[in-house]
């Protein structure tokens, strides 16, 4: 009993001393993404991408004297599960959470983190969003406690529709989306932007299907064919895109595809050589872009995990977080959040900047096309298919950048 | 016209794959009263075994060997798991198979990893068989339909026209009588269960090629096969056939219907009901609902006709 009492007073003191005195801390970060269910394989690749950079950060002291440790939690792709996990990690003393597997889950976590931080000053949680793309998260729902390291879907759609508008062969466009906030955002902005850029393009179809549920996409393909579309654009990712592309090539659907995630894990296995030149994908980087400076990282990743490094935002999340820790000279989330605002630093695609107004990453985007490895414009393939992503167009951040309606409430520094 | 013919073909092809999947489930249920929750996991095993075998000795041996292997695993489950639980009633059996789904998913992930495996289609099955207007119909889909029909015929003939089938049927209704005639009833049950799992394995060999071979594949069909079996009537092979083809066709055609309840109200000049409320629910089109329609039918059938279309006992 007495010992207990002693511990009760002594512990906070010791922790306070430790936090104030030393600046070599181990920063534990909870990663809440699916490691089971339909998107498990995709999410495993995300995790490895972050781990690779965490190792580099710790070895090269990129976070100052601090080291970063990732701890994975399986949210099974469910918002409810994620909320319970958030509670768990807060109880375990985590102050940083990374998530990015779904905008719907991201919104739920943001809401919970906002409430927690309001009620628990001094114990704030910071949410690092690696890939949730719903624009709302940095507009109407924006929060000081949330940082997005990937382009939001409006930025990607802005870039993709600009590319589509340039192609005079496109007359009839069909939109296929997963029915959740990101898919709905893609559908809405594609219609809106195409109307602005090429009013003559007709939208002949706009389909929503449940995320991760459809096995057989051939009915959708038959419908696309019946609509007379010459171009299909889709925000689908993971198996939903793999199966869509597979069904299209089975039925000999002769259209051009414009996608957001055709470079994601496993999808290229479904691409037939016939897709070469007919498939354009918007991405945050391609190892084939001119002056690419991430050779070591990409090849090291392939050597270590026998997989391709695909998504730059995962690298960016860790790289910028480490920079924030270094600049803040503390591991207090409030200070680190302020330090991350406005950071400009180099990444594999050029320069990236964390816009302070809405915590939305600004970085170049690339229109890429599926092409055979030729040693010059396509040096790296994907999934050992002999095909890779050729850079068609580099889009500077100011082109894709979107105004924000974010009105952020900030804590005292 | 092109759409209708393609939609029918696609619907029937998908329906027959569903049938191949659910036939084993409904068989084991009708024969043993065991509702095998792990059925979809045996389907996944079939796909993974076929992948492993076909990458060493080729697809055609895998088409035969993989379902056999799955059948052996299934028989093992019956012999060492279900048999001892049988006396405790169906709930224990159900729980065992339920637990099995998790174990089997973990096994697959431990052996083959979480990522989809590159299970390649043999060259003979690649390409298209024929062309309707501008749409090609893959050889593979036709092959899948052929296998399903052959399997249906085979199972039907074995059960109704052979001695083995007679003994099996007798063992189900009058186990004591069959036993006293000198037949080994537990072994018959083991064979039946193994056979049911083998059918799931066969569906896996084909399904893994048609879609993707990955640890989530069991999860993705788990729901739909129960729907098929319940709508068809638990235990009825005929019902399973009819309801799988029905499900295939419904999914195929529903995707094309872009009308919502709000549109229907508008046609009936009842839109004053929907308009002021602004309920988004009414604007959901049938095509958006397509993938959940089977579950809707499940509920309707359970309410209107609890034993399913051809079922003989209540579910």
Would you list the DSSP string of A325-366? HHHHTS--HHHHHHHHTT-EEEETTEEEEEETTTTEEE--EE
- Cα A103 to Cα A119: distance, rounded to the nearest angstrom: 24
Q: Which of A223, A193, A226, A229 is nearest to A208 (CA)?
A: A223
Average pLDDT value for chain A = 89
Spatial neighbors of A201 by CB under 8 A, at least 6 apart, are A164, A165, A170, A171, A172, A173, A194
Q: Which residue in the block uniquely carries the two structure tokens 């919970």? A: A112
The verdict on residue B143 lying in a domain is yes
- How many Cβ atoms from other residues are within 10 Å of residue A297's Cβ? 17
Determine what percent of chain A is predicted with pLDDT higher than 70.
Answer: 94
Average pLDDT value for chain B = 85
Q: Which two tokens stand for residue B85?
A: 């639980």
Tell me which of A231, A248, A283 is where a domain ends. Answer: A283
**Quick check: A384 and A337 in contact, CB under 8 A?**
no
Q: What is the model's pLDDT at position A21?
A: 42
Question: A302 burial class (0-12, 13-18, 19+ CB within 10 angstroms)?
Answer: middle
How many domains, chain B?
1
Question: Pick the residue with more confidence: B174 or A308?
Answer: A308
Lowest mean pLDDT among A15-29, A253-267, B49-63: A15-29
Q: Do A252 and B212 touch (CB under 8 A)?
A: no
Q: Do A225 and B128 touch (CB under 8 A)?
A: no
Confidence of residue B218 (pLDDT cuts 50, 70, 90): confident
Q: What is the ipTM of this complex?
A: 0.77
The verdict on residue A91 lying in a domain is yes
Does residue A62 come out as left (phi exceeding 0), alpha (psi in the -120 to 50 range) or beta?
alpha
Nearest chain A alpha carbon to B134: A252
**In Å, how far is A188's CA from the nearest CA of chain B?**
16
Q: What is the model's pLDDT at position A17?
A: 46
The verdict on residue B302 lying in a domain is no
Segment A145-161 mean pLDDT: 93
**How are strands ordered across the β-sheet holding A26-33?**
A67-74, A26-33, A96-99, A126-129, A146-148, A360-362, A350-355, A344-347
| B90-130 pLDDT tens trace | 888 889 999 999 999 999 988 987 777 878 888 888 877 88
Q: Which of B287, B288, B253, B214 is nearest to B8 (CA)?
A: B253
State phi, psi for A308 to the nearest 5 degrees: -90, 145
Q: What is the model's pLDDT at position B278?
A: 54
How many domains, chain A?
2
Q: What angle is formed at CA A249 by the lines to CA A245 and CA A250, rounded to 5 degrees?
A: 115
The verdict on residue A144 lying in a domain is yes
- Cα A33 to Cα A102: distance, rounded to the nearest angstrom: 9
The verdict on residue A12 lying in a domain is no
- Cα A220 to Cα B285: distance, rounded to the nearest angstrom: 14
Tell me which of A263, A283, A303 is where a domain ends. Answer: A283
Segment A133-152 mean pLDDT: 93
Query: In the A/B pair of chains, how many CB contacts fall below 8 A?
Result: 113
* DSSP secondary structure letter of residue B285: B
Lowest mean pLDDT among A31-40, A69-78, A107-116, A389-398: A31-40
Q: What is the model's pLDDT at position B90?
A: 81
A168 and A141, same domain (yes or no): no
The verdict on residue A356 lying in a domain is yes
The verdict on residue A411 lying in a domain is no
Q: Is residue A243's pLDDT more than 80?
A: yes
Which residues on chain A place their C-beta less than 8 Å from a C-beta of chain B?
Answer: 35-41, 44-45, 179, 207-210, 212-216, 218-220, 222-223, 225-226, 239, 242-243, 246, 250-254, 265-266, 269-270, 307
**In Å, how far is A126's CA from the nearest CA of chain B?**
29
**In Å, how far is A235's CA from the nearest CA of chain B?**
16
Q: Which two tokens stand for residue B77?
A: 């489950």
| B136-184 pLDDT tens trace | 888 888 899 999 999 889 988 888 888 888 888 887 778 888 888 888 8
- Cα B251 to Cα B246: distance, rounded to the nearest angstrom: 9
A147 and A88, same domain (yes or no): yes
- Cα B299 to Cα A75: distance, rounded to the nearest angstrom: 29
Strands (E), chain B: 128-132, 135-138
Q: Is residue A124's pLDDT more than 90?
A: yes
Between the ranges A217-221, A290-294, A353-357, B189-193, where is the mean pLDDT highest? A353-357
A158 and A249, same domain (yes or no): yes
Which of B105, B118, B220 lies at the smallest CB-CB distance from A215? B220
The verdict on residue A18 lying in a domain is no
A143 and A187, same domain (yes or no): no
Q: Which two tokens stand for residue A135?
A: 């624009």
Q: Is B141 on the interface with A (CB under 8 A)?
A: yes
Q: Which residue in the block uniquely carries the two structure tokens 């990663």? A: A31
**Quick check: B276 and B54 in contact, CB under 8 A?**
no
Q: Which two tokens stand for residue A174?
A: 């069909």
Q: Which residue in the block uniquely carries the two structure tokens 């000198």? A: B182
Give B92-138 as a DSSP string: HHHHHHHHHHHHHHHHHHHHH-SSPP--PPPGGG-SEEEEETTEEEE
Q: Is residue A29's pLDDT more than 60?
A: yes
**Quick check: A266 and A383 in contact, CB under 8 A?**
yes
* DSSP secondary structure letter of residue B17: H
CA distances from A109 to A85, A101, A120, A125, A132 (A): 10, 12, 16, 11, 12
Q: Which residues of chain B lie closer than 8 angstroms to A243, CB-CB?
A: 211-212
Q: Is residue B71's pLDDT more than 80?
A: yes
Q: What angle is formed at CA A106 by the lines to CA A102 and CA A112, rounded to 5 degrees?
A: 150
A161 and A180, same domain (yes or no): yes
> What CATH number did the domain enclosing A304 receive?
3.40.50.2300
> What CATH number did the domain enclosing B237 receive?
1.10.3470
| A190-204 pLDDT tens trace | 999 999 999 999 999
Determine what percent of chain A is predicted with pLDDT higher than 90.
Answer: 65
Q: What is the model's pLDDT at position A22?
A: 47
**Quick check: A404 and A358 in contact, CB under 8 A?**
yes
A147 and A27, same domain (yes or no): yes
Tell me which of A362, A379, A398 is where a domain ends. Answer: A362
The verdict on residue B286 lying in a domain is no
Q: Do B290 and A209 touch (CB under 8 A)?
A: yes
Which of B116, B254, B292 lies at the smallest CB-CB distance from A266? B116
Q: What is the model's pLDDT at position A10?
A: 53
A187 and A278, same domain (yes or no): yes
**In Å, how far is A278's CA from the nearest CA of chain B?**
18
Chain B, 213-232: which have a CB under 8 Å from a chain A CB?
Answer: 214-216, 219-221
Q: Which residue in the block uniquely carries the two structure tokens 């959740």? A: A180
Q: Which of A131, A188, A190, A134 is nearest to A162 (CA)?
A: A190
Q: Is residue A321's pLDDT more than 60?
A: yes
Q: What is the model's pLDDT at position A5?
A: 54
Q: Is B128 on the interface with A (CB under 8 A)?
A: yes
A278 and A342, same domain (yes or no): no
pTM of the model: 0.80
- Cα A148 to Cα A129: distance, rounded to the nearest angstrom: 5
- Cα B99 to Cα B85: distance, rounded to the nearest angstrom: 14
**In Å, how far is A14's CA from the nearest CA of chain B?**
43
Question: Pick the residue with more confidence: A391 or B223?
Answer: A391
Segment A281-292 mean pLDDT: 88
Q: Which domain holds residue A145?
A: 23-151+294-362
Which residues share a beta bridge with A388? A371
Burial B276-309 (b: 16+ CB within 10 A, else e): eeeeeebeebbbbbbbebbeebbeebeeeeebbb
SS3 at position B231: helix
Segment B184-200 mean pLDDT: 89
| B254-308 pLDDT tens trace | 887 777 777 777 777 766 655 555 556 667 778 877 778 888 888 998 898 888 8
Q: Do B115 and A215 touch (CB under 8 A)?
A: no
Q: What angle is formed at CA A122 by the lines to CA A118 and CA A124, rounded to 5 degrees?
A: 55
**In Å, how far is A259's CA from the nearest CA of chain B?**
20
Nearest chain B alpha carbon to A219: B252
Q: What is the model's pLDDT at position B122?
A: 85
Q: Is residue B85's pLDDT more than 90?
A: no
């Amino acid at each position: 009993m007495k010992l207990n009492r002693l511990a009760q007073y002594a512990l906070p003191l010791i922790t306070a001393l430790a936090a104030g005195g030393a600046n070599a801390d181990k920063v534990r970060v909870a990663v809440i993404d699916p490691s089971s269910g339909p998107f498990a394989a995709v999410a495993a690749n995300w995790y490895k991408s972050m781990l690779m950079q965490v190792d580099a950060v710790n070895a090269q002291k990129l976070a100052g004297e601090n080291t970063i440790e990732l701890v994975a939690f399986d949210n099974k792709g469910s918002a409810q599960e994620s909320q319970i996990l958030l509670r768990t990690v807060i109880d375990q003393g985590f102050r940083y959470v990374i998530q990015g597997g779904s905008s719907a889950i991201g919104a739920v976590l943001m809401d919970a983190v906002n409430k927690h931080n309001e009620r628990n000053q001094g114990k704030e949680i910071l949410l690092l969003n690696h890939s949730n793309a719903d624009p709302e998260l940095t507009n109407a729902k924006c929060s000081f406690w949330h940082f997005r390291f990937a382009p939001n879907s409006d930025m990607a759609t802005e870039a993709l529709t600009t590319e589509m508008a340039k192609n005079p062969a496109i007359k009839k466009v069909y939109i296929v989306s997963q029915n959740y906030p990101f898919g709905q955002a893609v559908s809405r902005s594609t219609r809106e932007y195409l109307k602005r850029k090429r009013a003559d393009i007709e939208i002949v179809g706009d389909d929503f299907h449940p995320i991760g549920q459809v096995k057989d996409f051939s009915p959708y393909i038959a419908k696309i064919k019946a609509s007379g579309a010459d171009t299909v654009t889709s925000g689908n990712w993971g198996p939903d895109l793999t199966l869509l592309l597979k069904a299209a090539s089975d039925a000999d659907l002769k259209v051009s595809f414009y996608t957001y995630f055709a470079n994601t894990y496993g999808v290229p296995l479904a691409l037939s050589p016939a897709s070469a030149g007919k498939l354009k994908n918007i991405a945050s980087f391609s190892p084939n872009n001119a002056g690419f400076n991430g050779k070591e990282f990409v090849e090291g990743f392939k050597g270590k995990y026998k997989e391709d490094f695909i998504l730059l935002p995962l690298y960016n999340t860790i790289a910028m977080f480490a920079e924030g820790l270094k600049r803040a000279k503390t591991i207090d989330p409030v200070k680190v959040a302020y330090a991350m605002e406005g950071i400009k630093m180099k990444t594999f695609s050029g320069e990236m900047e964390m816009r302070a107004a809405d915590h939305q990453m600004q970085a170049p985007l690339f229109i890429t096309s599926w092409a055979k490895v030729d040693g010059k414009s396509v040096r790296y393939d994907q999934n050992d298919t002999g095909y890779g992503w050729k850079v068609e167009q580099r889009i500077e951040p100011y082109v894709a950048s979107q105004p924000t309606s974010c009105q952020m409430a900030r804590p005292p520094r | 016209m092109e759409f209708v013919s393609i939609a029918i073909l696609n619907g029937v092809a998908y329906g027959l794959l569903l049938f191949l999947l659910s036939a084993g489930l409904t068989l084991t249920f009708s024969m043993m009263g065991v509702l095998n929750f792990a059925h979809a996991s045996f389907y996944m095993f079939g796909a993974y075994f076929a992948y492993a075998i076909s990458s060493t000795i080729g697809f055609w041996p895998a088409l035969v060997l993989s379902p056999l292997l799955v059948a052996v695993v299934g028989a093992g489950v019956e012999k060492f798991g279900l048999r001892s639980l049988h006396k405790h009633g169906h709930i224990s059996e159900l729980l065992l198979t339920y637990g099995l789904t998790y174990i089997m998913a973990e096994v697959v992930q431990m052996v083959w990893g979480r990522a989809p495996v590159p299970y390649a289609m043999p060259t003979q099955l690649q390409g298209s068989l024929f062309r309707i207007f501008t749409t090609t119909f893959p050889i593979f889909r036709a092959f899948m339909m052929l296998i399903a029909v052959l399997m249906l015929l085979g199972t039907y003939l074995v059960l109704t026209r052979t001695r083995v089938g007679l003994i099996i049927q007798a063992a189900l209704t009058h186990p004591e009588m069959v036993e006293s005639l000198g037949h080994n009833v537990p072994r018959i049950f083991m064979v039946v269960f193994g056979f049911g799992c083998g059918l799931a394995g066969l569906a896996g060999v084909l399904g893994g090629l048609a879609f993707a071979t990955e640890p989530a594949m069991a999860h993705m069909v788990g729901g739909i096969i129960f729907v098929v079996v319940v709508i068809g009537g638990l235990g009825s092979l005929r019902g399973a056939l009819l309801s799988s083809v029905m499900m295939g066709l419904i999914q195929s055609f529903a995707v094309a219907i872009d009308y919502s309840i709000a549109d229907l109200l508008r046609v009936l000049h009842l839109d004053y009901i929907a308009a002021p409320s602004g309920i988004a629910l009414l604007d959901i089109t049938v095509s958006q609902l397509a993938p959940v329609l089977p579950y809707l039918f499940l509920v309707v059938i359970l309410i209107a006709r609890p034993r399913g279309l051809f079922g003989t006992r209540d579910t």
